[in-house]
Structure 1
Amino acid sequence: MSARMREVLGRTLVELRHEPTAKRVRGFLDDTLVVDTDRAVLVWEPRRVVPTYAVPLADLGGEVLDAGQGRDGEDDIGFPLPDLGSRPVLDPRVPFAVHSTEGRPVTVTFPGGSRAVAGFLPADPDLAGLVILDFAGVDLWLEDADRVVSHPHDPYSRIDIRTSSRRVQVAVDGRILADSTRAMLLYETLLPVRFYFPPDDVLVELEPSDTRSWCAYKGEASYSSVRMPDRLERDIAWRYESPLDDALRVSGQVAFFDERVDIVVDGAARARPITPWSQRATDR
């Protein structure tokens, strides 16, 4: 029988996975080059949905020290993606200190440096001689000469953007927030389709917030809230003002969390997806 690819990915999500990359990977701390390798390996710990870099110990410009006991990734840690499995996933918001495979937490120190970087030595023999580094603990990562933000790119994940002529409406409690026949549809591996609207087709005032997030494929997102009669729907919408190359077609356009609004496409209501973003910002 044929296997649906999403189900195949869901089964492998609970496994420790790795993939070598041919890219030159460099990391900078306080403007000092501390990692420089063309032998990096992308590692996904069990239930982690994005990879991080594992670097040969010989390519580190620092000393590896024991860091004590790490925090285990118990089944109650993480966020639900029911169609990928019954156990919560560990998305990028789950701290690096949470580990879901056997290994030893370490700290990497550098000569003359005032800061250290958290690391993890996995016990798996296929990853012997590698240290997994906390991506957020390094000030700047480069693949070849290009900056990488949020996390390393997954070679098996992608973004597609398509122009739609369908009528797409966004509502909360029956109040129409956006109405357009010019929406851009952004498809991203394992995530719901996102509808991006020209600002002129957004029918409510958006109140900017200070919230920011970073996507490895789209760049820095800025968030906005919508004031309802009885509450503030905080950070319900976002946009990329200066997106990375993969998302240039949605530059400046507005998207809403499908998990928290009602989407109607050509008169047909779409079911709200269940993702780590299903909770309101005030509940997270």
Structure 2
Amino acid sequence: MRMSEAMDRLRAELRYEPTGKRVRAEGGGHLVVDTTRAVLVWEPRRITPTYAVPEEDLWGALSPSTRAEPAPDGILHPGIPFTAHSTPGEPLTLSAHGEIHDGGAFRPADPDLAGYVIVDFDALQWFQEDERLRGHPRDPYHRVDAHASSRHVRIVHKGRTVADTTAATLVFETSLPTRYYIPRADITVPLTPSDLRTYCPYKGEASYFSFADGENLAWSYENPLPDGPPVRNLIAFYDDLMEVTVDGVRNEHVDNPIARTLLDEFGVS
């Protein structure tokens, strides 16, 4: 069996993995979570994890909440709200230091997670050891590799060449198609900066650009994370929507449900 097929099958399950790292969270400048017993949890069909923590390591009051909704069908990308749960359990309100987060916690009905509550990552500011976390916790089974390449890469959008280079950096990321990061000198269309920003826990904050129909079809990491891939100021394109040739051979568009879900999240069609 291909590993990708095995991972796809597991995605339908409630998954968890202990982490030995110290995990803390703050709300309103006050400590709400402080634990060395955190567990990474992926609810069924969620592609990114969040933290579950022992209730005794949570400095706040928990009470029942009615703020819950059925999870939509398909893959659950980071834009799907925390309150859309795909596993049985009890939605909770988290109250701490005068702040009330209705539906901000969830007690899963699973014996392996007895005594734990999952906490909405977006409701608090999180730290792993002494480093601030953004976006979502890092997945220990997610990998990002980047390699400089002299292969001839050409990207065409609706018959118009937008990039032509022999100096691309190829980024290989778990569960995603290969991305081609292009030097700006090899971009052949004017790029218009967009207000859209997204955050990748592995690469950093991405700034977006449009060059056709006002769509955010290109992005760049102007200040990537120190341990991220070497892609500073290079431009990547949503090549799922474009014609890409590498050394004269056209890439076949393979249906990638995770890539498609992320495109839909950011309003790209």
TM class by smaller structure: over 0.9
| Cα deviation 1:245-278 (Å, max 9, x = unaligned) | 3324101110001222111111111123432245
Quick one: structure 1 residues 280 and 142, their matched pair in 2 at CA, closer, same or farther if it must change by over 3 Å?
closer
Match in the other structure for 1:101: 87
Match in the other structure for 2:6: 8
| Cα deviation 1:88-147 (Å, max 9, x = unaligned) | 211111111111100011111013x23436011100111111110111111x21101112
| Cα deviation 1:25-62 (Å, max 9, x = unaligned) | 01111221211110000000001111100011000110
SS in 2 for 1:9: helix
Q: CA deviation at 1:64?
A: 0.4
Residue 240 of structure 1 pairs with residue 238 of structure 2 = no
TM-score using structure 2 length: 0.94
Give the alignment of 1:223-262 within 5 angstroms. 223-227=208-212, 232-262=213-243
Quick one: structure 1 residues 8 and 248, their matched pair in 2 at CA, closer, same or farther if it must change by over 3 Å?
closer
Counterpart-to-counterpart distance in 1, 2:206 and 2:72: 30
Counterpart-to-counterpart distance in 2, 1:218 and 1:282: 21
Runs of 4+ in 1 over 6 A off after TM superposition: none
Q: Which moved more, 1:61-70 or 1:19-28?
A: 61-70
Residue 215 of structure 1 pairs with residue 200 of structure 2 = yes
Letter of the structure 2 residue corresponding to residue 240 of structure 1: Y
Match in the other structure for 1:79: none
Quick one: structure 1 residues 97 and 225, their matched pair in 2 at CA, closer, same or farther if it must change by over 3 Å?
same
Give the alignment of 1:50-199 within 5 angstroms. 50-75=48-73, 88-111=74-97, 113-116=98-101, 118-138=104-124, 140-199=125-184
Quick one: structure 1 residues 278 and 34, their matched pair in 2 at CA, closer, same or farther if it must change by over 3 Å?
closer
SS in 2 for 1:120: strand
SS in 1 for 2:198: strand
Q: CA deviation at 1:148?
A: 1.4
Quick one: structure 1 residues 168 and 100, their matched pair in 2 at CA, closer, same or farther if it must change by over 3 Å?
same
Letter of the structure 2 residue corresponding to residue 44 of structure 1: W
Q: Is the 8 A contact 1:234 1:281 kept in 2?
A: no
Q: Is the 8 A contact 2:144 2:173 kept in 1?
A: yes
Match in the other structure for 1:85: none
| Cα deviation 1:135-180 (Å, max 9, x = unaligned) | 1111x21101112111111111111001111000111111000111
Residue 36 of structure 1 pairs with residue 21 of structure 2 = no
Quick one: structure 1 residues 273 and 30, their matched pair in 2 at CA, closer, same or farther if it must change by over 3 Å?
farther
Counterpart-to-counterpart distance in 2, 1:153 and 1:273: 26
Quick one: structure 1 residues 167 and 233, their matched pair in 2 at CA, closer, same or farther if it must change by over 3 Å?
farther
TM-score using structure 1 length: 0.89
SS in 1 for 2:8: helix
Residue 276 of structure 1 pairs with residue 261 of structure 2 = yes
Letter of the structure 2 residue corresponding to residue 98 of structure 1: A
Counterpart-to-counterpart distance in 2, 1:240 and 1:270: 24
Q: CA RMSD of the aligned region, Å?
A: 1.6
Counterpart-to-counterpart distance in 2, 1:178 and 1:265: 12
Match in the other structure for 2:186: 201
Counterpart-to-counterpart distance in 2, 1:58 and 1:235: 44
Counterpart-to-counterpart distance in 2, 1:66 and 1:42: 23
Unaligned stretches of 5+ in structure 1? 76-87
Q: Is the 8 A contact 1:260 1:278 kept in 2?
A: no
